[in-house]
Amino acid sequence: MSEDPVSPQHPHSQPIPPDCNVIQLHLHRLEMLFDPMDPSPWLSKDLQPRILERIVEGARDYPLNAPLALVIYADQMDEQLQDTHSVCDALRTNFAQLSMQARHRLRLHLRRGLISLMIGLTVLACALIGSKLLGEGTIASTLRESLDIGGWVALWRPMEMFLYDWWPIQGDRMRYRKLSRMPIQIHVQQEAPVRQGQA
């Protein structure tokens, strides 16, 4: 994929290597990147959920090891955003925080999985011991089978957590980490209008 030209009025835009897969965004105003409901200062705000989803979905179109870059085209930049270099830093900070949050979710998930496994093994052991203590007869045989089935079913959830549920979280963590390090270019068609009373 060919390298996009760097806009001369924005010297902080990073050059994009030719082998990068480019995610493109087109916005009316650059501040649309950030969540207007977040009371933090502009460059400390979380990303707007719809924008975040578009970037992440764009990244999911490529393998985890594929190099990525982000190019944003905006018709206008509000004066509150200072400069495109600060906006790029804010974007990377957002993705770095998301990566840390995904890491925390993974650790919490594995901890819960370990607790669930201990509970499941305890239930299974009790069920197997209980089935051995039952006598003979139709009712005892039915109870024995029920205990055996119930004991093994108790392990279903922890096995699901360890075999299947953890890797999507790890994938998100790796993807966010990659997004926090990717080159970003911002092309603004025109700067914010001059306030009334200013020259």
Q: What mean pLDDT is reported for the chain?
A: 85
Q: Which helix (H) or strand (E) segment is 28 a member of?
A: strand 21-29
pLDDT > 70: percent of the chain: 87
Whether the pLDDT of residue 3 is over 50: the answer is no
The token pair at 144 is: 């024995």
SS3 110: helix
Report residue 10's pLDDT band, with 50, 70 and 90 as the boundaries.
very low
Instruction: Quote the CA–CA distance of 125 and 132 in Å, as a whole number.
Output: 11
Q: How confident is the model at residue 71 (pLDDT cuts 50, 70, 90)?
A: very high
* Domain-wise residue ranges, the chain: 21-102+177-191, 111-171
pLDDT of residue 28: 93
Nearest to 88 by CA among 11, 18, 28, 21: 11
